[in-house]
Structure 1
Amino acid sequence: MIAVLLAACASEIDEDWEDLCEDGKCDLAVPPMAAPDLVVTDLKVLRTLEQSGHDLGSKLGGASASNAKLAASSPIYRQLSDIIAIDLAQLKQQDPQAGVGIGASHRLFDLAWLSASSAHFELVGVVNRTDRMFATPGKCGEVRFVYRLMYAMTKGSSRLPMTLLVIHDQPQIGGGCSAVARRWIGQTATADALKAGPLAGLAPAVRIELNLQAVRWPAGARSDL
């Protein structure tokens, strides 16, 4: 449980947990409580959060209806796309067999998806990282919004091998980080409860992380793997 983890770290990070510790046995002193929500993945909740300002476009200062509109409206997104383009160009230079499309032996990620009108980034998770207090001095860990690249066609939709994380620090509130942790416990199953609770008053995003499968090899390309 996150509360146990926070309590165990109280002597170094948060004095608010001292009242839960007895003879240094903080774990045993934590009162019984419901398990905190560490990851929000309910699709209905996520779609409502997107409609309430937690879509990728709002995070990056642009429009989220499609990647074409996001690329046209967000300088931050265009900068990210430029960085990915450089990485893909370097991969292609290093690997003569790399290329876009099914004709290439080693298939590169198609950069065109990042500006396609048929593609967009969809919120697929909200992650509570209160355990990262050690990395956020004066704050109470992080909240991570996870977006997955997907495309839609007339016959259906599919997700592509790229995720983008927008990371916010969790500011302290009255009661310190123990109070922040408790906001994730209990009534957090609905979008309204999340917006009024742990997602209320988030600090501006501090960084963006990308996870991309840049190149895909056929199964038989390496017999030693």
Structure 2
Amino acid sequence: MNRRLALIAVIFASFFLASLARAEGPVMIVDDPAVLAALDARGFDFAGIFDVDGKADLKTLYDKAPAYHQIVETIAGDVTALRAEMKAGGRSLYEVTEGNVGRIIDMRWLKTDAARFRLVGVVNRLDRRDFAEIRGDGGCGEVRFIYRLAYSFKKNGKVLASRLPFNFNAIYSVAPDADGGCVGVAGRWTPQLDETVDIGWLIGGPLEKAGLSFKQLELNAQVVRFPSGQETEFGGQAAYLMRIFGIDGETVSEKPLENTPDLARLSDDAALKAKLADYISANVAAVD
């Protein structure tokens, strides 16, 4: 009798644990360093966005990928303009300094063989399906690959390595199921009881390249930093540069930021400006 009760208890416990495992739901973010390193080495590296094989350092990318070269020059123009604006306001900025002064990104980091962009996260954005429907795209959201600027070099016999707060976000649209729905897509992000979220499961499932199409490359980078000794009321202050780039082979286009008014267009179009004002007035409660 005791053995029978024990068997029933084991069966019940197994059923209960299985239910808990199923309740964990889909994978929303991949941030395990070992898995990310494996993905980086299996065709999901930053250089692959620009169809550059082999070495992934930024000097190679700058020299061999016209699209990356153009993106770097665009960023350099933004940084130069920001630097001039801040200098005109009495704030000089320096790339290399030990003083208690403002610092600005050294653009040489983006074209040196001592640096590369490393994969630091993969994010499941199935929820972005709503935005695709608004645009009439009919996809199943997005998958986002986040790359962060990292460097490593030797100096005086020592290896100096770290990361910088300079990130690119590669956005891929996800193709729908054969019937146009997203049930299958969502299911591929949910591991079964005998499955592990490893490199094989990812590239054979939710990250299968046949179901992904490149959409755009987003930049979110800290380009200016004022130390706390200079900005005592804020404990330091930083300025970030945000941009969105479309890439088609060697051609780069600039896209508008989402949820950001196009001030130049609104200034030139009184009717559009009035339409925006009317919409905000009619939806104040929802906006707030």
Category of TM-score, reference length = shorter chain: 0.7 to 0.9
- Is residue 91–residue 98 contact of structure 1 (8 Å, CA) maintained in 2? no
Q: CA deviation at 1:166?
A: 0.5
Asked if 1:159 corresponds to 2:154, the answer is: no
Offset, 1:204: 2.4
Show the counterpart of 1:3.
none
1:146 equivalent in structure 2: 146
Other-structure match for 2:29: 39
- Count of residues paired in the alignment: 194
1:126 alignment partner, one of 122, 125, 142: 122
**Alignment partner of 2:140: what SS?**
strand
**Does the CA contact (< 8 Å) of 2:144 and 2:169 recur in 1?**
yes
Distance 1:146 1:177 in 2: 23
Say which one has the larger Rg.
2
Kept in 1: contact 2:177–2:183 (CA 8 A)? no
Give structure 2 stretches of 5+ with no counterpart: 1-21, 235-288
Alpha-carbon shift at residue 223 of structure 1 (Å): 3.5
Inter-partner Cα distance in structure 1 for 2:94 and 2:81: 12
The amino acid of 1:66's aligned partner reads: D
Higher relative contact order (CA 8 A, sep 6+): 1
Q: Secondary structure at the match of 2:212?
A: coil
TM-score normalised per structure 1:
0.81
Aligned twin of 2:61: 70
Aligned mates of 2:200, 2:46 — CA distance in 1: 19
Offset of residue 127 of structure 1: 0.5
TM-score normalised by structure 2 residue count:
0.64
1:188 is displaced (CA, Å) by: 5.6
Q: Relative to 1, partners in 2 of residues 1:162 and 1:188: Cα closer, same or farther, differing over 3 Å?
A: farther
Whole-angstrom distance in 2 between the partners of 1:156 and 1:100: 18
The residue that corresponds to 1:203 in the other structure is 212
What is the CA RMSD across the aligned residues, in angstroms? 1.6
- Aligned residue for 2:183, secondary structure, equals helix
Name the amino acid aligned to 1:158.
S
**What's the counterpart of residue 96 of structure 2?**
101
- Shift in alpha-carbon separation, 1:223–1:90, aligned structure 2, 3 A: same
